Structure 1
Amino acid sequence: MPGNEAWLIGEHRSTGERKYYLSNLPADTSLRLLASAIKARWVCEQAHQQLKEELGLDHFEGRSWTGLHWHALMSMMAYAFLLSRRLTAVGRKKKSHRPTITAQSASNTTGHS
């Protein structure tokens, strides 16, 4: 651990919900850095949940560490592939919503008529 101290951080949301986090970051850590570290955890939790629900990470029934590591590796590779496909599809949708420039309007914008 970076230090001997641990900090209990409380978050009071506008919905009235309260969340608590434990941190071992140094006492002089900025509030912005602390908040970003706490929120980064959510991304990891979502990825782990998707690995279990969509790709069967929790369906391993083997008896060796090697088998478990192999299963986890294959699940993570499948997750990375699917995530790249999703991001590519989102990129294509954004590009297709851009207005297209016709040949006539393109010639006018270059200053040639």
Structure 2
Amino acid sequence: ADGPPQRIWDKGQQHLPGDEAWLIGEQRASGEKKYYLANLPAATDLRTLAATIKARWICEQAHQQLKEELGLDHFEGRSWQG
């Protein structure tokens, strides 16, 4: 990240539960920058924030792998009354 985590407040419409949210920035070794918005409690430590972000990434990667390797991207579920 480009600095310490910062707290932000939404003064307009609330798009998340509560008034506060975390805006987390990450700069990867490649120079690519990523930003995440999380509504975890204010007392959440940086390690927990990072673990939560990476857990979502792992789930997304697993879903993509299932689609590619098992052909789930070609599957359409339908209701059938037999």
Which ranges in structure 2 are unaligned for 5 or more consecutive residues?
Answer: 1-15
The structure that is helix-richer by fraction is 1
Rg (Cα) greater in structure: 1
What is the number of residues matched between the two proteins? 64
Moved over 6 A (4+): none
Matched, 1:7 2:34: no
Deviation at 1:61, TM superposition (A): 3.0
User: Is contact 1:51–1:57 with CA below 8 Å preserved after alignment?
Assistant: yes
Deviation at 1:35, TM superposition (A): 0.5
Instruction: Identify the residue that residue 57 of structure 2 maps to in structure 1.
Output: 42
The structure that is strand-richer by fraction is 2
Matched residues, percent identical?
77
Q: Output the amino acid matched with 1:55.
A: L
Q: RCO higher in 1 or 2 (8 Å CA, sep ≥ 6)?
A: 2
CA RMSD in angstroms, aligned pairs only: 2.1
Deviation at 1:53, TM superposition (A): 0.3
Matched, 1:63 2:78: yes
**TM-score normalised over the length of structure 2:** 0.65
**CA 1:28–1:59 in structure 2 vs 1: closer, same or farther (change >3 Å)?**
same
Paired with 1:28 and 1:3, the residues of 2 have a C-alpha distance of: 16
Which ranges in structure 1 are unaligned for 5 or more consecutive residues?
Answer: 67-113
Paired with 1:43 and 1:33, the residues of 2 have a C-alpha distance of: 15
**CA 1:30–1:60 in structure 2 vs 1: closer, same or farther (change >3 Å)?**
same
